[in-house]
């Protein structure tokens, strides 16, 4: 009995210690809103977007009707950004937007059994049993006689291609033939909806980035890393678990790796060694989702050698060159340029300023990780990225300044270090801004 009691007490104190350890690490962490607060914020912003942004982009693109069809477990990328956070997507789901005229509000109709909580008016009385949802949709279209109907299909933008082949067949069978002939790709509508952020959203997005930066800093701290013991896999799972503890979904599988090591250390421990050792350069590529906004960052840390108090100057110079390339990158952003034009202009300016081996592979980020704005280069393509590279730059959009420079390291017998950096920027009428700043100094592990 005494032994059992001691065991229970031991487990109890271990649990208390674990909780206290989490508290110590997170006491200076940016506040993550409660789920209730997140729901309230997301719903308020989504309603504001529907009230203000939706009418503008429908009129800019000339669509007087936009139909979004989707299904449970295969939800359209645009649809999920137009509904309350606290609702359940089930069965066949249909949203219809209709422009009643320049001085009137956009009619927002829900043709499903889903509870839209006032975001969209229920147009189908499924309880009455008088018509199916498809008959209801056909009636809505006939009564309004739209001239240009948008549907979500695209050969270029993934996020604008949410309409399945099956649902399109059901749509074209359900509606009158003359309206089938008025169906058009809503690609531009989808792009403008997903890419454009309201001013208030940029502030909220910066909160998400602040949390993302804090997660990286904590993972790179001496509280987490013990040189000679901790592995890069440990960092992956620490970061992932900490994000989960805060209720944050990962934007993609987190990556931590050793990107720089002295040749003598490689010879000693092998090229596949994952244990973090003194003198190592660590790199991460990580992101989380908060308030529906995706983050995506690449940052670096240096593990001090015995007797070192700071990062060697050689490595500092490489990061400074990376920051210079970021400045050049930001300086070339101009309204209306395509991704391919931006890529050419950035690389031309970088080479004129003698940046060594500049490489650009930037993308829009926001409601999704890599879409839907202009693609600015790919790691394997530094001239023309095709259709996604022909998308034009608009105001109130957000991007990753994702790029790299490559320099030889004298201390490594001339071996090259390619330093990839990635931070989130906003592009508005006021210019470019790094959300919550950018990395200009290494995280230091003692």
Q: Where in the chain is the domain with CATH 3.90.230.10?
A: 197-445
pLDDT at 28: 77
User: pLDDT band at residue 126, thresholds of 50, 70 and 90?
Assistant: confident
Assigned CATH class of 197-445: alpha beta
Tell me the C-alpha distance between 159 and 199, whole Å.
23
Tell me the C-alpha distance between 321 and 299, whole Å.
15
Tell me the C-alpha distance between 317 and 324, whole Å.
10
pLDDT above 90 (res 266): yes
pLDDT at 44: 98
| Termini Cα distance of the chain | 45
Q: Which of 168, 400, 193, 216 is nearest to 294 (CA)?
A: 400
Mean pLDDT over 158-167 rounds to 97
pTM: 0.91
pLDDT at 20: 34
Domain 35-193, what architecture?
3-Layer(aba) Sandwich (3.40)
More confident call, 21 vs 177: 177
pLDDT above 60 (res 19): no
Contacts of residue 57, Cβ cutoff 8 Å, sequence gap at least 6? 189, 192, 193, 196
Which DSSP category does 416 fall into?
Answer: E
Query: Mean pLDDT across the chain, nearest whole number?
Result: 93
Mean pLDDT over 193-220 rounds to 98
Q: Where in the chain is the domain with CATH 3.40.350.10?
A: 35-193
Cis peptide before 46 (omega within 30 of 0): no
């Amino acid at each position: 009995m005494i032994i059992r009691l001691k065991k229970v007490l031991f487990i109890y104190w271990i649990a208390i210690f674990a909780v206290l350890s989490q508290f110590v690490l997170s006491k200076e962490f940016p506040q993550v809103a409660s789920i209730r607060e997140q729901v309230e914020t997301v719903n308020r912003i989504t309603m504001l977007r529907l009230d203000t942004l939706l009418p503008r982009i429908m009129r800019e693109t000339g669509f007087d009707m936009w139909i979004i069809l989707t299904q449970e477990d295969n939800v359209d990328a645009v649809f999920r950004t137009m509904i309350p956070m606290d609702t359940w997507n089930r069965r066949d789901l249909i949203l219809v937007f209709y422009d009643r005229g320049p001085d009137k509000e956009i009619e927002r109709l829900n043709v499903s059994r889903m509870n839209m909580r006032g975001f969209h008016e229920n147009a189908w009385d499924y309880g009455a049993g008088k018509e199916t949802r498809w008959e209801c949709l056909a009636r809505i279209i006939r009564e309004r006689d739209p001239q240009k109907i948008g549907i979500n299909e695209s050969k270029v933008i993934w996020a604008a291609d949410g309409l399945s082949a099956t649902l399109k067949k059901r749509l074209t069978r359900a509606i009158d033939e003359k309206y089938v002939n008025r169906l058009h790709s809503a690609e531009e509508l989808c792009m403008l909806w997903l890419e454009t952020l309201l001013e208030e959203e940029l502030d909220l997005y910066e909160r998400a980035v602040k949390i993302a930066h804090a997660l990286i800093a904590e993972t790179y701290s001496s509280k987490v890393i013990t040189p000679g013991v901790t592995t890069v896999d440990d960092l992956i799972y620490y970061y992932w678990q900490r994000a989960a503890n805060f209720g944050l979904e990962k934007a993609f599988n987190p990556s931590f790796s050793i990107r720089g090591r002295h040749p003598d250390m490689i010879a000693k421990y092998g090229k596949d060694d994952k244990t973090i050792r003194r003198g190592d350069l660590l790199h991460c590529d990580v992101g989380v989702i908060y308030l529906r906004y995706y983050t995506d960052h690449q940052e670096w840390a240096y593990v001090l050698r015995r007797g070192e108090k700071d990062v060697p100057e050689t490595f500092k110079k490489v990061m400074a060159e990376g920051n210079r390339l970021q400045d050049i990158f930001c300086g070339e952003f101009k309204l209306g340029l395509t991704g391919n034009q931006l890529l050419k202009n950035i690389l031309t300016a970088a080479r004129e300023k003698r940046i060594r081996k500049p490489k650009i592979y930037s993308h829009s980020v926001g409601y999704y990780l890599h879409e839907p704005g202009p693609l600015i280069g790919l790691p394997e393509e530094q001239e023309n990225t095709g259709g996604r590279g022909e998308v034009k730059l608009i105001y109130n959009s957000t991007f990753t300044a994702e790029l790299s420079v490559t320099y030889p390291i004298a201390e490594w017998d001339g071996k090259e270090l390619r330093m990839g950096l990635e931070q989130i920027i906003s592009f508005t009428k006021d210019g470019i801004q790094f959300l919550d700043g950018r990395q200009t100094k290494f995280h230091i592990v003692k």
